[in-house]
Copies of this chain bind each other. A is one copy, B any other.
Amino acid sequence: MARTIGSHGPTTMEAIRKAGLRLIFQHGYEAMSLRQLAAEVGIQPGSLYNHISTKQELLAELIQDHINDLLRELELALRDRQGPVERLRAFVAFHVSYHMTRKREVFIANSELRSLDPRNYEAVVALRGSYERRLADILSDGVAQGVFDVDDVQVATFAIIALLTGLCSWYRPGGRLTKDAIIAAHEKLVLSGVMPRNAEAAQAGGDRAAPHSG
């Protein structure tokens, strides 16, 4: 508990991750220098290497941890949700909500993929693929059951994820809209987008009190 100069113990690694997240989000991975990072943390550049093995590995870790969290939490969010409509609604609500609270991780995981070396790149893309597949499966089920009408499930999957992820680039906490309003707006856009017109399919209704609305 001494904590004399600079930071100590397990705390330092946490500080590095936090500062790294911020700096990469702000300037990009290539543009962030380890000198900057060290200064932010309050240690000497060389001291970073007591905690990370490489700038590249720091990036990989940040991205991989994020994607693992994302997958794990998606699992929780979808547990107990039945039927394509309810599951899609849950997916949207979860995705938007997660992206609002972990904007930086999400942004980095999307925009700095190209800075990963091939080995790390493959690993992350594989994980991301399994996230996308969750949505694709929901859409496929919906199409099969006739509750969704989409020309191409693949295209719709990419489009929906892009739509939802776009949030990161404009959302600021404390903005004009409440979290729930934002979630509701996206739910409506997405659900309308994939449900068949004219039929009264989506009973929608007031019951869609968002998960995560707490």
Contact = CB atoms under 8 A, between A and B. Distances in A.
A163 B152 contact: no
A167 B166 CA distance: 12
Interface of A: 26-28, 30-31, 76-77, 89-90, 93-94, 97-98, 101, 111, 114-115, 150-152, 154-156, 158-167, 169-170, 176-177, 179-195, 197-202, 204, 208, 210-213
B152 A208 contact: no
B183 A31 contact: no
A77 to B, nearest CB: 5
Interface of A, secondary structure class, is helix
Nearest to A112: B28
Contacts of A208: 89, 93, 183-184, 187
A199 to B, nearest CB: 6
Contacts of A101: 212
Given A93-B211, A156-B189, A163-B159, A199 B198 contact: yes
